Amino acid sequence: MDRIRISDLALRCVIGVNEDERREKQDVSINVAIHADLSKACRSDRFEDTIDYRALKKRIAAMVEGSHFYLLEALTQAVADVCLENPAVAKVDVRVDKNAALRFARSVGVEITRDRARAARAFVGVGSNIEPEKNVAEAVRLLAGRARVAGVSTVYETAPLGRPGEPPYYNCVVELITESPPLEVKASVLRPIEARLGRVRTQDRFAPRTIDLDLIAYDGVALETEELVLPDPEIMRRPWLAAGLAELAPDLVLAGPPARAADVAAAMPQSGMKRLDSYTARLRKEAGHDG
């Protein structure tokens, strides 16, 4: 397989677990090897037949410099995910070095290899009606520390169903790029974040909550177990879930019976959903998706 290399890309981002590492951006160096079939470009000498590595470099730089990761491993994975967004890329090798991360060492680095078949799009419904402005933002930040956040839908304020007098919800959908299978996303990503934000599950499924994180779709996967059903049947009953999913992935086909996310959303009433555009813009900026 042919390769395109981007070497020693010097960038700065928030990376680390210590407070002093998170107050200011840290220096990182990124090396990428793109595996792709370049035979057509080799014969044609046409720009259209190769990978635009200048555009790829800009996409990597924008993602990295707008990111907030705790682990170097997560940042390295996010760079790989950006590269694999291009359908011409079959595999990618990524090395990210953090300068002066250890005493007496010039740098610490993480190197991974990822192929296209392993990356998946996971869509997470996010909701809160206990300090929702703070908790939804914190949930998105924590999600970004465990996977790459590829998109954040419009945030809607909605009234609690059948609960007059209780505080309204903030609801949105977040798209993650992940290699973890669906059940692992739920158990190892979503539930720990809920616990960290003080979610207490009771027999009352509709009680107020600090945060609610539900895996509602995972690419086009259909799954039915005691722990998880995909796609989430609530998409067909909750307009804000349908609208958020359609905004991020309008052509995603939801299984059983098959339907495009955009068509599902278009068929549902939008009344009772108040757009929170200013809050959404702030949330997207913090997640590195303010474009």
> Which entry of 114, 199, 238, 284 is annotated as an active-site residue?
199
Q: At what angle do helices 72-84 and 53-65 cross, to 10 degrees?
A: 150
**Annotation says 214 is catalytic:** yes
The answer to whether the beta carbons of residues 156 and 275 sit under 8 Å apart is: yes
Active site residue 116: no
As a whole number of Å, the end-to-end CA separation of the chain is 34
Residue range 147-180, pLDDT digits in tens: 889 999 999 999 887 666 688 999 999 999 988 8
- For residues 56 and 184, membership in a common domain is answered with no
| pLDDT at 67 (0 to 100) | 81
Tokens of 73: 């491993």
Question: Domain with 26 in it: what CATH number?
Answer: 3.30.1130.10
Q: Give the chain's radius of gyration (CA, Å).
A: 20
| Candidate list 81, 97, 214, 232, residue with the active-site label | 214
Enumerate residues 6+ apart whose C-beta is below 8 A from 106.
Answer: 99, 100
Q: Where among 85, 117, 149 does a domain terminate?
A: 117
Kindly report the three-state secondary structure assignment for every residue of 94-163: EEEEEECCCCCCCEEEEEEEEEHHHCEEEEEEEEECCCHHHHHHHHHHHHHCCCEEEEECCCEEECCCCC
pLDDT at position 170: 97
pLDDT along the chain (291 residues), means of 10: 95 86 88 94 92 93 86 89 86 92 83 83 96 96 91 94 79 93 92 90 68 93 86 94 96 81 93 94 82 50
Q: Do 6 and 57 touch, CB atoms closer than 8 A?
A: yes
71 and 209 both lie in a single domain: no
**What would the pLDDT profile of 203-244 be if each residue is shown by its tens digit?**
666 667 899 999 999 988 888 888 899 999 999 999 999 999
97, 117, 137 — which closes off a domain?
A: 117
Distance CA 51, CA 255 (A): 33
Residues 105 and 178 in one domain: no
Which CATH number does the domain housing residue 251 bear?
Answer: 3.30.70.560
204 is catalytic: no
Q: Do the domain assignments include residue 138? A: yes
Domain stops at, among 91, 117, 143: 117
Q: Which of 209, 232, 238, 284 is catalytic?
A: 209
The number of folded domains in the chain is 2
Distance CA 128, CA 116 (A): 34
Rounded Cα distance between 100 and 26, Å, is: 9
Establish whether 8 is a catalytic residue: no
Taking CA atoms, 211 is separated from 46, 129, 134, in Å, by: 51, 8, 10
Pick the catalytic residue from 97, 114, 146, 212.
Answer: 212
pLDDT of residue 194: 94
- For residue 274, what are the domain limits? 120-286
103 and 178 inside one domain: no
Residues 6+ apart with CB under 8 A from 174: 123, 124, 126, 140, 143, 149, 151, 152, 153
Q: Check residue 188 and report its DSSP letter.
A: I
Same domain, 92 and 23: yes
**Which pLDDT belongs to residue 241?**
96
Q: Which two tokens stand for residue 138?
A: 């914190």
Concatenated DSSP letters for 24-54? Answer: S-EEEEEEEEEEE--HHHHHH--GGGS--HH
